[in-house]
Chains A and B, each alone.
Chain A
């Protein structure tokens, strides 16, 4: 059973470009979470999605960031017009159920570098 897949693993963008990060949850998991980790810091929640629905986006910056989880295909985190402060590791996690007691399984992350 493959784990959570993320690609690309490393992404370099110049300021003003767009970044697209992809996440395929574990088989059978329909709940996806995105977190951001700045250097030497813990992970910060960004957004929680179920298939075709955004459930909680309380951690998403109001501008330039968007996320989707279509009926078919991976979840996408999109960052428009990237700035240097967007440089971070972005982790996706998935869970089978939505209950508070269910652990989330994390992917290897995408490390975004903005030049």
Chain B
């Protein structure tokens, strides 16, 4: 069965510093991986996806993610964090048309 794991419940970063939110996956077959962000009392917003091709995927709001097959990871990154990036981030893998989500990582960016 497909699954993803987000090993960190919370990540704290100072504004202007680079940020990384970690995700590892376990799949049979080709992985279709996604990152979503959730702001308080809101739905999920799509950030980016990996289907095939380049291991570095660029997405919305300056975010990017690095697909690493040997480490089965798909970490979300941003070169310079903003306070407005503070939110709940979910990694997900597609499993026969449905999404399987990780537990989420809360990102807190401090001024």
Residues of A within 8 A of B (CB): 4, 6, 31, 33, 35, 41-45, 48, 55-56, 59, 91, 93, 98, 100-101, 103-109, 111
Contacts and interface: CB of A to CB of B under 8 A. Distances in A.
B101 A91 contact: no
B102 A42 contact: yes
6 contacts: A33-B99, A42-B101, A100-B96, A106-B43, A106-B44, A106-B45
Interface residues of B, number: 22
Interface of A, secondary structure class, is strand
Contacts of A101: 32, 49, 51, 94
A59 B45 CA distance: 22
B34 A42 contact: no
Interface string B26-42: 00000010101000011
